[in-house]
Amino acid sequence: MILECPECRTRYLVPDSAVGVTGRTVRCANCRHSWFQEGAALPPLAAAAPPAAQPLSAGGSGFAPAGFAPSPVADTAPAADASFDAFAHRPPFRPRRNMTRVRTIASIAAGLIMLALVGVILWTTAPGLAQQVGFDIGPAQSPLRIVDNPIERRQMTNGSELFAVSGRITNPSAAAQRVPDLRADLRDADGRVVFSWTITPQQRTLPANGAIDFNSAQVDVPPSSKRLDLSFVGEAS
């Protein structure tokens, strides 16, 4: 039988068994329009067998008008398969992957993994390694040691008081260490900080088993200061 889409007028040549006697809903493969197609009427028992269906041709005889180029005949399943739909899409339908999105997600994941590895290295290895590359690793103690000399306090001729401190920074470890700034805290008898300043070392890198001297002086420090605490900046006193 010949089916004609009521929307785009595309014609299809299909066997009667694809539609059945009771009819069925079909869909045009050209414009996707769906409609209910009535089944073909059964011929009388004494009637002769109908001639074999011939393909439509443009400009020829039959149902195709002159100048009409019919679409290819749709594939049909065997008559025994009642669930076959000649106008349905063919499986499988696999969506295309967005490769740009996949690469972006992979780059972000790789960056997070690298940051996590750097963090693990800085927190689990020797503190001196992070200090050498310029990272502040928080409260971890430096392997450097401070050896301070007795402080000196004396009155100057202008009436102000000079407070001087000196000492040595040593590196007892087997690797070179970065030398941070020193923090000097003066505390009163109750342990409260009454005056503070920063001492800059003479050099920033101290070789293994090396040592450097430091000295600093301040004037007009509070007279209530009783104790001096020296520590590296970023460490507890």
Per-residue pLDDT of the chain (237 residues; tens, 9 = 90+): 788 898 998 988 888 877 778 888 888 988 888 888 887 766 666 555 555 545 544 443 344 444 444 444 444 444 445 565 655 555 555 566 678 888 899 999 999 999 998 877 766 554 445 445 555 544 456 799 998 777 888 888 887 788 899 999 999 999 999 999 999 999 999 999 999 999 999 999 999 999 999 999 898 888 888 899 999 987 655
pLDDT at 180: 93
pLDDT of 57? 42
As a dihedral over the C-alpha atoms of residue 199, residue 200, residue 204, residue 208, rounded to 10 degrees, the angle is -30
- The pLDDT value given to residue 86: 59
**What local confidence, expressed as pLDDT, does residue 122 receive?**
65
Tens of pLDDT, residue by residue over 50-75, are: 555 455 444 433 444 444 444 444 44
Question: What residue type is 72 in one-letter code?
Answer: P
pTM: 0.40
Check the CA dihedral 169-172-176-178 and report its sign: negative
Q: Read off the pLDDT of residues 175-190 as tens digits, 9 standing for 90 and up.
A: 999 999 999 999 999 9
Which residues make Cβ contacts (< 8 Å) with residue 133, sequence separation at least 6?
Answer: none
Q: Which amino acid is at 143?
A: P
Helices (H), 125-196: 127-132
Mapped onto helix, strand or coil, the DSSP state of residue 99 is helix
Distances (CA, A) of 160 to 65, 224, 225: 118, 15, 15
Selection from 19, 10, 28 nearest residue 76 by Cα: 19
Q: Report how far apart, in Å, the C-alpha atoms of 196 and of each of 185, 188, 227, 228, 236 are.
A: 5, 12, 12, 9, 14
159: Cβ–Cβ under 8 A, 6 or more apart, which residues?
A: none
pLDDT value at residue 196:
92
**Closest by CA position to 180, among listed 131, 127, 218:** 131
In whole angstroms, give the CA distance from residue 107 to residue 101: 10
